[in-house]
Structure 1
Protein backbone atom coordinates (compact mmCIF):
# COMPACT_ATOMS: atom_id res chain seq x y z
CA UNK A 1 0.00 0.00 0.00
CA UNK A 2 1.25 3.53 -0.80
CA UNK A 3 1.86 5.94 2.01
CA UNK A 4 0.00 9.25 1.97
CA UNK A 5 2.75 11.31 0.31
CA UNK A 6 3.23 8.64 -2.37
CA UNK A 7 -0.52 8.59 -3.06
CA UNK A 8 -0.47 12.34 -3.61
CA UNK A 9 2.44 12.04 -6.03
CA UNK A 10 0.67 9.34 -8.01
CA UNK A 11 -2.66 11.15 -8.17
CA UNK A 12 -1.13 14.49 -9.11
CA UNK A 13 -4.10 16.18 -7.45
CA UNK A 14 -1.99 18.75 -5.65
CA UNK A 15 0.30 21.42 -7.12
CA UNK A 16 4.01 20.66 -7.04
CA UNK A 17 6.58 23.02 -5.56
CA UNK A 18 6.95 24.86 -8.88
CA UNK A 19 3.27 25.81 -8.91
CA UNK A 20 2.15 23.30 -11.54
CA UNK A 21 -0.09 20.26 -11.28
CA UNK A 22 1.94 17.06 -11.26
CA UNK A 23 -0.48 14.99 -13.35
CA UNK A 24 -0.60 17.67 -16.04
CA UNK A 25 3.18 17.94 -16.07
CA UNK A 26 3.50 14.17 -16.46
CA UNK A 27 0.97 14.18 -19.31
CA UNK A 28 2.99 16.83 -21.13
CA UNK A 29 6.16 14.83 -20.46
CA UNK A 30 4.56 11.92 -22.35
CA UNK A 31 3.66 14.14 -25.30
CA UNK A 32 7.12 15.72 -25.28
CA UNK A 33 8.71 12.26 -25.44
CA UNK A 34 7.94 12.18 -29.16
CA UNK A 35 10.66 13.40 -31.51
CA UNK A 36 10.60 14.46 -35.15
CA UNK A 37 11.79 11.06 -36.40
CA UNK A 38 9.22 9.07 -34.37
CA UNK A 39 6.18 7.65 -36.14
CA UNK A 40 5.07 5.90 -32.94
CA UNK A 41 6.44 4.89 -29.53
CA UNK A 42 5.95 1.77 -27.44
CA UNK A 43 5.05 1.91 -23.79
CA UNK A 44 8.57 0.82 -22.91
CA UNK A 45 10.10 3.63 -25.03
CA UNK A 46 7.87 6.22 -23.39
CA UNK A 47 8.86 4.92 -19.95
CA UNK A 48 12.56 5.11 -20.82
CA UNK A 49 12.27 8.67 -22.13
CA UNK A 50 10.11 10.03 -19.33
CA UNK A 51 11.46 8.03 -16.38
CA UNK A 52 7.91 7.31 -15.23
CA UNK A 53 6.38 4.00 -14.14
CA UNK A 54 4.43 2.18 -16.84
CA UNK A 55 1.36 2.03 -14.63
CA UNK A 56 1.39 5.83 -14.30
CA UNK A 57 1.90 6.26 -18.04
CA UNK A 58 -1.02 3.97 -18.87
CA UNK A 59 -3.38 5.92 -16.63
CA UNK A 60 -2.38 9.21 -18.22
CA UNK A 61 -2.46 7.81 -21.75
CA UNK A 62 -6.04 6.65 -21.20
CA UNK A 63 -7.07 10.29 -20.77
CA UNK A 64 -4.85 11.50 -23.61
CA UNK A 65 -6.42 8.95 -25.96
CA UNK A 66 -9.91 9.91 -24.77
CA UNK A 67 -9.15 13.56 -25.58
CA UNK A 68 -7.63 12.67 -28.99
CA UNK A 69 -4.15 13.81 -27.95
CA UNK A 70 -2.79 10.30 -28.56
CA UNK A 71 -3.84 7.27 -30.59
CA UNK A 72 -3.22 3.60 -29.73
CA UNK A 73 -2.24 1.59 -32.81
CA UNK A 74 -3.11 -2.04 -33.48
CA UNK A 75 0.43 -3.14 -32.60
CA UNK A 76 0.11 -1.57 -29.14
CA UNK A 77 2.32 1.45 -29.82
CA UNK A 78 1.17 5.07 -29.60
CA UNK A 79 1.05 8.06 -31.92
CA UNK A 80 0.30 11.72 -31.33
CA UNK A 81 -3.37 12.51 -31.93
CA UNK A 82 -5.34 14.91 -34.09
CA UNK A 83 -6.11 17.29 -31.22
CA UNK A 84 -2.51 18.53 -31.33
CA UNK A 85 -2.98 19.54 -34.96
CA UNK A 86 -6.24 21.22 -34.02
CA UNK A 87 -4.50 23.22 -31.29
CA UNK A 88 -1.73 24.12 -33.70
CA UNK A 89 -4.30 25.49 -36.12
CA UNK A 90 -5.94 27.54 -33.38
CA UNK A 91 -2.54 28.89 -32.33
CA UNK A 92 -1.68 30.01 -35.85
CA UNK A 93 -5.15 31.44 -36.43
CA UNK A 94 -4.90 33.49 -33.23
CA UNK A 95 -1.69 35.07 -34.49
CA UNK A 96 -3.41 36.00 -37.79
CA UNK A 97 -0.25 35.38 -39.76
CA UNK A 98 -1.43 32.75 -42.25
CA UNK A 99 -2.50 35.21 -44.91
CA UNK A 100 0.69 37.24 -44.77
CA UNK A 101 3.74 35.13 -43.92
CA UNK A 102 3.64 32.28 -46.51
CA UNK A 103 3.56 34.60 -49.58
CA UNK A 104 6.53 36.55 -48.20
CA UNK A 105 8.47 33.34 -47.58
CA UNK A 106 7.74 32.03 -51.07
CA UNK A 107 8.95 35.26 -52.62
CA UNK A 108 12.08 35.19 -50.46
CA UNK A 109 12.85 31.65 -51.58
CA UNK A 110 12.42 32.67 -55.22
CA UNK A 111 14.83 35.57 -54.73
CA UNK A 112 17.52 33.74 -52.75
CA UNK A 113 17.01 30.04 -53.62
CA UNK A 114 17.55 29.32 -49.91
CA UNK A 115 15.05 28.03 -47.36
CA UNK A 116 12.98 30.71 -45.62
CA UNK A 117 11.44 30.48 -42.14
CA UNK A 118 9.41 32.58 -39.73
CA UNK A 119 10.07 32.10 -36.00
CA UNK A 120 8.47 33.35 -32.81
CA UNK A 121 9.78 33.16 -29.26
CA UNK A 122 8.54 30.59 -26.76
CA UNK A 123 10.31 31.24 -23.46
CA UNK A 124 13.95 30.25 -23.92
CA UNK A 125 13.25 28.62 -27.28
CA UNK A 126 12.03 29.66 -30.72
CA UNK A 127 9.39 27.86 -32.72
CA UNK A 128 9.21 27.70 -36.52
CA UNK A 129 5.66 28.75 -37.41
CA UNK A 130 6.09 28.79 -41.19
CA UNK A 131 8.65 27.27 -43.53
CA UNK A 132 9.26 27.17 -47.28
CA UNK A 133 12.10 24.88 -48.39
CA UNK A 134 14.83 25.74 -50.84
CA UNK A 135 14.39 24.25 -54.35
CA UNK A 136 17.99 23.03 -54.18
CA UNK A 137 18.74 19.41 -53.30
CA UNK A 138 21.34 20.41 -50.67
CA UNK A 139 19.61 22.59 -48.11
CA UNK A 140 18.92 23.29 -44.46
CA UNK A 141 16.23 20.98 -43.08
CA UNK A 142 13.78 22.82 -40.81
CA UNK A 143 10.14 21.87 -40.31
CA UNK A 144 7.12 23.84 -39.22
CA UNK A 145 6.76 23.31 -35.48
CA UNK A 146 10.46 22.72 -34.81
CA UNK A 147 11.69 24.09 -31.48
CA UNK A 148 15.22 25.48 -31.72
CA UNK A 149 17.57 27.23 -29.29
CA UNK A 150 17.14 30.94 -28.71
CA UNK A 151 20.86 31.49 -28.09
CA UNK A 152 22.11 29.82 -31.29
CA UNK A 153 21.25 30.73 -34.86
CA UNK A 154 20.47 34.04 -36.54
CA UNK A 155 16.70 34.02 -35.90
CA UNK A 156 17.19 33.12 -32.24
CA UNK A 157 19.66 35.95 -31.74
CA UNK A 158 17.31 38.40 -33.43
CA UNK A 159 14.41 37.37 -31.18
CA UNK A 160 16.61 37.68 -28.10
CA UNK A 161 17.64 41.21 -29.10
CA UNK A 162 14.18 42.74 -28.72
CA UNK A 163 11.50 43.08 -26.09
CA UNK A 164 8.36 41.27 -27.19
CA UNK A 165 6.03 44.16 -26.33
CA UNK A 166 7.92 47.36 -27.21
CA UNK A 167 11.47 48.33 -28.14
CA UNK A 168 12.09 52.07 -27.75
CA UNK A 169 14.22 53.77 -30.42
CA UNK A 170 17.18 54.16 -28.06
CA UNK A 171 17.20 50.41 -27.41
CA UNK A 172 16.92 49.38 -31.06
CA UNK A 173 20.05 47.33 -31.94
CA UNK A 174 22.55 49.02 -34.21
CA UNK A 175 22.54 45.94 -36.44
CA UNK A 176 19.15 44.18 -36.26
CA UNK A 177 20.04 41.96 -39.22
CA UNK A 178 22.24 39.09 -37.99
CA UNK A 179 24.25 36.40 -39.78
CA UNK A 180 25.45 33.20 -38.12
CA UNK A 181 27.74 30.59 -39.64
CA UNK A 182 28.00 27.09 -38.17
CA UNK A 183 26.46 28.15 -34.86
CA UNK A 184 23.32 26.00 -34.75
CA UNK A 185 24.52 23.26 -37.10
CA UNK A 186 28.00 22.77 -38.62
CA UNK A 187 28.26 24.08 -42.19
CA UNK A 188 24.86 25.83 -41.97
CA UNK A 189 24.54 29.61 -42.21
CA UNK A 190 21.55 31.86 -41.69
CA UNK A 191 20.60 35.51 -41.94
CA UNK A 192 17.62 36.93 -40.06
CA UNK A 193 15.78 40.18 -39.39
CA UNK A 194 12.99 41.18 -36.98
CA UNK A 195 9.33 41.63 -37.93
CA UNK A 196 7.14 44.10 -36.04
CA UNK A 197 3.44 44.68 -35.51
CA UNK A 198 1.44 47.63 -34.16
CA UNK A 199 3.12 49.82 -31.53
CA UNK A 200 6.53 48.31 -32.40
CA UNK A 201 5.60 44.95 -30.88
CA UNK A 202 7.90 42.14 -32.03
CA UNK A 203 5.95 39.56 -34.02
CA UNK A 204 8.83 37.29 -34.96
CA UNK A 205 12.00 36.83 -36.97
CA UNK A 206 12.28 36.18 -40.70
CA UNK A 207 15.27 34.10 -41.81
CA UNK A 208 16.90 32.41 -44.77
CA UNK A 209 19.25 29.49 -44.14
CA UNK A 210 21.34 27.04 -46.12
CA UNK A 211 24.83 25.60 -46.59
CA UNK A 212 27.51 28.04 -45.39
CA UNK A 213 29.38 27.75 -48.67
CA UNK A 214 26.50 29.58 -50.38
CA UNK A 215 26.66 32.48 -47.87
CA UNK A 216 29.93 33.91 -49.15
CA UNK A 217 31.05 37.47 -48.48
CA UNK A 218 30.21 38.33 -52.08
CA UNK A 219 26.61 37.14 -51.73
CA UNK A 220 25.88 38.32 -48.19
CA UNK A 221 24.94 41.91 -49.14
CA UNK A 222 22.28 40.78 -51.63
CA UNK A 223 20.95 38.13 -49.21
CA UNK A 224 20.80 40.73 -46.45
CA UNK A 225 18.86 43.17 -48.63
CA UNK A 226 16.41 40.44 -49.65
CA UNK A 227 15.76 39.50 -46.01
CA UNK A 228 15.36 43.13 -44.94
CA UNK A 229 12.98 43.84 -47.83
CA UNK A 230 10.88 40.85 -46.86
CA UNK A 231 10.93 41.78 -43.15
CA UNK A 232 9.92 45.35 -43.95
CA UNK A 233 7.11 44.20 -46.25
CA UNK A 234 5.79 41.74 -43.66
CA UNK A 235 6.03 44.40 -40.95
CA UNK A 236 3.86 46.75 -43.03
CA UNK A 237 1.34 43.97 -43.69
CA UNK A 238 1.09 43.29 -39.95
CA UNK A 239 0.50 46.95 -39.12
CA UNK A 240 4.00 47.80 -37.96
CA UNK A 241 6.43 50.62 -38.79
CA UNK A 242 8.97 49.40 -41.34
CA UNK A 243 10.97 52.66 -41.41
CA UNK A 244 13.88 51.39 -39.33
CA UNK A 245 14.17 48.18 -41.33
CA UNK A 246 14.20 50.14 -44.59
CA UNK A 247 16.88 52.43 -43.16
CA UNK A 248 18.98 49.42 -42.19
CA UNK A 249 19.29 48.30 -45.81
CA UNK A 250 22.32 50.54 -46.18
CA UNK A 251 23.70 49.76 -42.72
CA UNK A 252 26.32 47.32 -41.55
CA UNK A 253 25.91 43.61 -40.89
CA UNK A 254 26.52 41.64 -37.70
CA UNK A 255 28.08 38.20 -38.28
CA UNK A 256 28.40 35.62 -35.50
Structure 2
Protein backbone atom coordinates (compact mmCIF):
# COMPACT_ATOMS: atom_id res chain seq x y z
CA UNK A 1 0.00 0.00 0.00
CA UNK A 2 1.40 3.38 -0.96
CA UNK A 3 2.28 5.86 1.74
CA UNK A 4 -0.51 8.51 1.69
CA UNK A 5 1.88 11.18 2.90
CA UNK A 6 3.28 13.39 0.10
CA UNK A 7 6.92 12.45 0.51
CA UNK A 8 6.62 9.30 2.62
CA UNK A 9 9.13 10.76 5.03
CA UNK A 10 6.93 12.18 7.79
CA UNK A 11 5.33 10.70 10.86
CA UNK A 12 3.32 12.24 13.68
CA UNK A 13 6.49 13.14 15.58
CA UNK A 14 8.42 14.83 12.77
CA UNK A 15 10.42 14.24 9.60
CA UNK A 16 11.68 10.68 9.76
CA UNK A 17 14.99 11.25 7.96
CA UNK A 18 15.81 14.22 10.19
CA UNK A 19 14.97 12.25 13.32
CA UNK A 20 17.17 9.40 12.13
CA UNK A 21 20.09 11.74 11.49
CA UNK A 22 19.73 13.34 14.91
CA UNK A 23 19.50 9.94 16.59
CA UNK A 24 22.63 8.86 14.73
CA UNK A 25 24.50 11.95 15.93
CA UNK A 26 23.24 11.19 19.44
CA UNK A 27 25.27 7.98 19.46
CA UNK A 28 28.46 10.03 19.62
CA UNK A 29 29.39 10.79 23.23
CA UNK A 30 32.44 11.75 25.24
CA UNK A 31 32.88 8.08 26.06
CA UNK A 32 32.39 6.95 22.47
CA UNK A 33 33.67 9.49 19.98
CA UNK A 34 34.35 7.27 16.97
CA UNK A 35 32.37 4.53 15.20
CA UNK A 36 32.60 2.42 12.07
CA UNK A 37 29.66 2.21 9.69
CA UNK A 38 29.12 -1.37 10.83
CA UNK A 39 29.00 -0.32 14.47
CA UNK A 40 26.62 2.56 13.75
CA UNK A 41 24.37 0.18 11.84
CA UNK A 42 24.26 -2.24 14.75
CA UNK A 43 23.77 0.47 17.40
CA UNK A 44 21.10 2.39 15.48
CA UNK A 45 19.15 -0.58 14.19
CA UNK A 46 18.96 1.10 10.77
CA UNK A 47 19.76 -0.55 7.44
CA UNK A 48 23.40 -0.18 6.40
CA UNK A 49 22.43 1.73 3.25
CA UNK A 50 20.48 4.23 5.35
CA UNK A 51 23.40 4.73 7.73
CA UNK A 52 25.80 5.29 4.82
CA UNK A 53 23.43 7.86 3.32
CA UNK A 54 22.95 9.67 6.64
CA UNK A 55 26.69 9.74 7.34
CA UNK A 56 27.41 11.13 3.87
CA UNK A 57 24.76 13.84 4.31
CA UNK A 58 26.07 14.83 7.74
CA UNK A 59 29.61 14.96 6.35
CA UNK A 60 28.48 17.40 3.65
CA UNK A 61 27.40 19.79 6.41
CA UNK A 62 30.44 19.18 8.60
CA UNK A 63 28.46 17.38 11.28
CA UNK A 64 30.47 14.17 10.90
CA UNK A 65 33.99 13.39 9.75
CA UNK A 66 35.40 10.17 8.27
CA UNK A 67 39.06 9.38 8.83
CA UNK A 68 41.36 7.39 6.55
CA UNK A 69 41.13 4.50 9.02
CA UNK A 70 37.41 4.20 8.35
CA UNK A 71 36.41 5.59 11.72
CA UNK A 72 33.68 8.22 11.82
CA UNK A 73 33.68 10.97 14.42
CA UNK A 74 32.01 14.32 15.03
CA UNK A 75 32.83 17.00 12.49
CA UNK A 76 34.11 20.56 12.88
CA UNK A 77 30.73 21.93 11.86
CA UNK A 78 29.44 21.08 15.33
CA UNK A 79 31.86 23.61 16.86
CA UNK A 80 29.66 26.42 15.59
CA UNK A 81 26.54 24.82 17.04
CA UNK A 82 28.30 24.17 20.35
CA UNK A 83 29.42 27.79 20.56
CA UNK A 84 25.94 29.01 19.69
CA UNK A 85 24.30 26.76 22.29
CA UNK A 86 26.76 27.86 24.96
CA UNK A 87 26.00 31.51 24.21
CA UNK A 88 22.24 31.01 24.13
CA UNK A 89 22.17 29.11 27.43
CA UNK A 90 24.82 31.11 29.28
CA UNK A 91 23.24 31.91 32.64
CA UNK A 92 23.67 35.20 34.51
CA UNK A 93 26.50 35.11 37.04
CA UNK A 94 24.15 35.74 40.00
CA UNK A 95 22.22 32.57 39.06
CA UNK A 96 25.43 30.54 39.08
CA UNK A 97 26.34 32.07 42.43
CA UNK A 98 22.94 31.10 43.85
CA UNK A 99 23.49 27.52 42.68
CA UNK A 100 26.96 27.46 44.22
CA UNK A 101 25.64 28.80 47.53
CA UNK A 102 22.92 26.12 47.64
CA UNK A 103 25.49 23.41 46.93
CA UNK A 104 27.81 24.71 49.65
CA UNK A 105 25.03 24.93 52.24
CA UNK A 106 23.63 21.45 51.58
CA UNK A 107 26.79 19.67 50.49
CA UNK A 108 25.12 18.21 47.38
CA UNK A 109 25.20 18.75 43.62
CA UNK A 110 22.85 21.37 42.18
CA UNK A 111 21.40 21.12 38.66
CA UNK A 112 19.16 23.39 36.64
CA UNK A 113 16.78 21.60 34.26
CA UNK A 114 14.46 22.81 31.52
CA UNK A 115 11.82 20.89 29.61
CA UNK A 116 12.59 19.80 26.05
CA UNK A 117 9.75 17.89 24.39
CA UNK A 118 9.34 14.68 26.44
CA UNK A 119 12.70 15.06 28.18
CA UNK A 120 14.39 17.35 30.66
CA UNK A 121 17.81 18.75 29.89
CA UNK A 122 20.48 19.82 32.35
CA UNK A 123 21.58 23.32 31.34
CA UNK A 124 23.79 24.13 34.33
CA UNK A 125 25.40 22.37 37.26
CA UNK A 126 27.43 23.02 40.37
CA UNK A 127 29.03 19.82 41.65
CA UNK A 128 28.76 19.01 45.34
CA UNK A 129 31.91 19.12 47.48
CA UNK A 130 31.75 15.49 48.64
CA UNK A 131 33.70 12.65 47.08
CA UNK A 132 30.57 10.54 46.58
CA UNK A 133 28.14 12.73 44.71
CA UNK A 134 25.50 12.68 42.01
CA UNK A 135 26.58 14.21 38.70
CA UNK A 136 24.60 14.72 35.49
CA UNK A 137 26.67 16.16 32.61
CA UNK A 138 25.43 19.49 31.29
CA UNK A 139 23.50 18.90 28.09
CA UNK A 140 22.32 15.42 29.05
CA UNK A 141 18.71 14.49 28.33
CA UNK A 142 16.88 12.68 31.10
CA UNK A 143 13.40 11.15 31.12
CA UNK A 144 10.56 13.48 32.06
CA UNK A 145 8.58 10.71 33.74
CA UNK A 146 10.92 10.28 36.71
CA UNK A 147 12.67 12.42 39.28
CA UNK A 148 11.74 15.43 41.38
CA UNK A 149 12.74 17.92 38.68
CA UNK A 150 10.40 16.23 36.21
CA UNK A 151 7.38 16.62 38.50
CA UNK A 152 8.13 20.32 38.84
CA UNK A 153 8.56 20.76 35.09
CA UNK A 154 5.27 18.94 34.43
CA UNK A 155 3.32 21.45 36.50
CA UNK A 156 0.26 22.46 34.52
CA UNK A 157 0.88 19.91 31.76
CA UNK A 158 -2.21 18.67 29.93
CA UNK A 159 -3.23 15.01 29.88
CA UNK A 160 -2.28 14.58 26.22
CA UNK A 161 1.29 15.67 26.95
CA UNK A 162 1.41 13.46 30.04
CA UNK A 163 0.39 10.54 27.84
CA UNK A 164 3.30 11.30 25.52
CA UNK A 165 5.68 11.40 28.46
CA UNK A 166 4.27 8.21 29.95
CA UNK A 167 4.67 6.42 26.63
CA UNK A 168 8.44 6.83 26.96
CA UNK A 169 8.47 5.02 30.32
CA UNK A 170 8.55 1.26 31.02
CA UNK A 171 5.05 1.63 32.51
CA UNK A 172 3.39 3.09 29.42
CA UNK A 173 0.16 5.05 29.75
CA UNK A 174 -0.55 3.41 33.13
CA UNK A 175 1.67 6.16 34.53
CA UNK A 176 -0.52 9.06 33.36
CA UNK A 177 -2.70 9.24 36.47
CA UNK A 178 0.27 9.11 38.82
CA UNK A 179 2.18 11.77 36.90
CA UNK A 180 -0.87 14.00 36.90
CA UNK A 181 -1.21 13.75 40.69
CA UNK A 182 2.50 14.29 41.29
CA UNK A 183 2.66 17.27 38.95
CA UNK A 184 -0.41 18.82 40.57
CA UNK A 185 1.13 18.33 44.02
CA UNK A 186 4.41 19.87 42.86
CA UNK A 187 2.48 22.85 41.54
CA UNK A 188 0.68 23.33 44.84
CA UNK A 189 3.83 22.91 46.95
CA UNK A 190 6.33 24.57 44.64
CA UNK A 191 8.70 21.65 45.04
CA UNK A 192 8.96 17.87 44.75
CA UNK A 193 11.01 15.09 46.35
CA UNK A 194 12.01 11.76 44.81
CA UNK A 195 13.96 8.70 45.93
CA UNK A 196 15.34 6.16 43.48
CA UNK A 197 12.89 6.88 40.68
CA UNK A 198 15.42 7.18 37.87
CA UNK A 199 18.37 5.52 39.54
CA UNK A 200 18.35 3.33 42.64
CA UNK A 201 20.29 4.96 45.46
CA UNK A 202 19.85 8.51 44.16
CA UNK A 203 17.50 11.10 45.64
CA UNK A 204 16.55 14.62 44.73
CA UNK A 205 14.72 17.72 45.87
CA UNK A 206 13.58 20.16 43.19
CA UNK A 207 11.87 23.53 43.27
CA UNK A 208 10.20 25.63 40.60
CA UNK A 209 11.94 28.51 38.88
CA UNK A 210 9.27 30.83 37.49
CA UNK A 211 9.05 33.80 35.17
CA UNK A 212 7.41 37.13 36.00
CA UNK A 213 3.96 35.68 35.27
CA UNK A 214 4.55 32.83 37.69
CA UNK A 215 4.93 30.21 34.96
CA UNK A 216 7.42 27.38 35.60
CA UNK A 217 10.38 27.75 33.22
CA UNK A 218 12.94 25.54 34.96
CA UNK A 219 13.56 23.30 37.94
CA UNK A 220 16.37 23.82 40.41
CA UNK A 221 17.36 20.42 41.79
CA UNK A 222 19.54 19.23 44.64
CA UNK A 223 20.67 15.62 44.17
CA UNK A 224 22.80 13.06 45.96
CA UNK A 225 22.95 9.58 47.50
CA UNK A 226 19.69 8.48 49.15
CA UNK A 227 21.57 7.65 52.35
CA UNK A 228 22.18 11.37 52.88
CA UNK A 229 18.57 12.36 52.11
CA UNK A 230 17.12 11.50 55.52
CA UNK A 231 13.82 12.91 56.72
CA UNK A 232 15.36 15.76 58.72
CA UNK A 233 17.83 16.65 56.00
CA UNK A 234 15.17 16.59 53.29
CA UNK A 235 13.16 19.16 55.23
CA UNK A 236 16.20 21.41 55.37
CA UNK A 237 17.00 20.69 51.71
CA UNK A 238 13.47 21.65 50.69
CA UNK A 239 13.65 25.01 52.49
CA UNK A 240 17.08 25.76 51.03
CA UNK A 241 16.16 24.71 47.50
CA UNK A 242 12.87 26.61 47.47
CA UNK A 243 14.60 29.77 48.69
CA UNK A 244 17.35 29.37 46.09
CA UNK A 245 14.77 28.82 43.35
CA UNK A 246 12.99 32.01 44.39
CA UNK A 247 16.29 33.83 44.21
CA UNK A 248 16.94 32.48 40.71
CA UNK A 249 13.39 33.41 39.67
CA UNK A 250 13.92 36.98 40.82
CA UNK A 251 17.19 37.20 38.87
CA UNK A 252 15.79 35.61 35.72
CA UNK A 253 17.38 33.21 33.26
CA UNK A 254 18.93 33.76 29.87
CA UNK A 255 16.37 34.66 27.16
CA UNK A 256 16.47 31.20 25.54
CA UNK A 257 15.73 29.54 28.84
CA UNK A 258 12.43 31.33 29.23
CA UNK A 259 10.96 30.28 25.89
CA UNK A 260 7.87 28.14 25.68
CA UNK A 261 8.64 24.39 25.95
CA UNK A 262 7.25 22.17 23.20
TM-score category (smaller protein): 0.7 to 0.9
Matched, 1:194 2:178: no
Q: Which one is further off, 48-57 or 86-95?
A: 86-95
Counterpart Cα distance in 2 of 1:219 and 1:231: 18
* Residue of structure 2 aligned with 1:210, choices 216, 224, 228: 224
* Residue of structure 2 aligned with 1:118, choices 94, 108, 112: 112
Query: How do 1:93-172 and structure 2 match up within 5 A?
Result: 93-94=87-88, 97-162=91-156
Taking structure 1 as the reference length, the TM-score comes to 0.77
Q: Which residue of 1 aligns with 2:72?
A: 78
* Residue of structure 2 aligned with 1:225, choices 218, 239, 243: 239
Q: Which residue of 2 aligns with 1:50?
A: 44
Q: Which residue of 2 aligns with 1:183?
A: 197
In the alignment, is the contact (CA less than 8 A) between 1:158 and 1:178 conserved in 2?
A: yes
Aligned residues: CA RMSD: 2.8
In the alignment, is the contact (CA less than 8 A) between 1:13 and 1:21 conserved in 2?
A: no
Instruction: Report deviation, 1:97.
Output: 3.0
Counterpart Cα distance in 2 of 1:216 and 1:140: 16
Deviations 1:4-38 (A, max 9, x none): x79xxxxx965324374343233123112335632
Q: Which residue of 2 aligns with 1:31?
A: 25
Q: Which residue of 1 aligns with 2:187?
A: 173
Q: Report SS of the residue matched to 1:218.
A: helix
In the alignment, is the contact (CA less than 8 A) between 1:113 and 1:134 conserved in 2?
A: yes
Counterpart Cα distance in 2 of 1:172 and 1:187: 22
> CA 1:23–1:163 in 2, change beyond 3 Å: closer, same or farther?
closer
Query: How do 1:12-27 and structure 2 match up within 5 A?
Result: 14-18=8-12, 20-27=14-21
In the alignment, is the contact (CA less than 8 A) between 2:190 and 2:242 conserved in 1?
A: no
Counterpart Cα distance in 1 of 2:89 and 2:40: 32
In the alignment, is the contact (CA less than 8 A) between 2:65 and 2:74 conserved in 1?
A: yes
> CA 1:13–1:81 in 2, change beyond 3 Å: closer, same or farther?
farther
User: Highest Rg: 1 or 2?
Assistant: 1
Q: Which has the higher contact order (CA 8 A, sep 6+)?
A: 2
Q: Which runs of 5+ in 2 are unaligned?
A: 159-183, 254-262
> CA 1:63–1:98 in 2, change beyond 3 Å: closer, same or farther?
farther
Counterpart Cα distance in 2 of 1:83 and 1:222: 46
Runs of 4+ in 1 over 6 A off after TM superposition: none
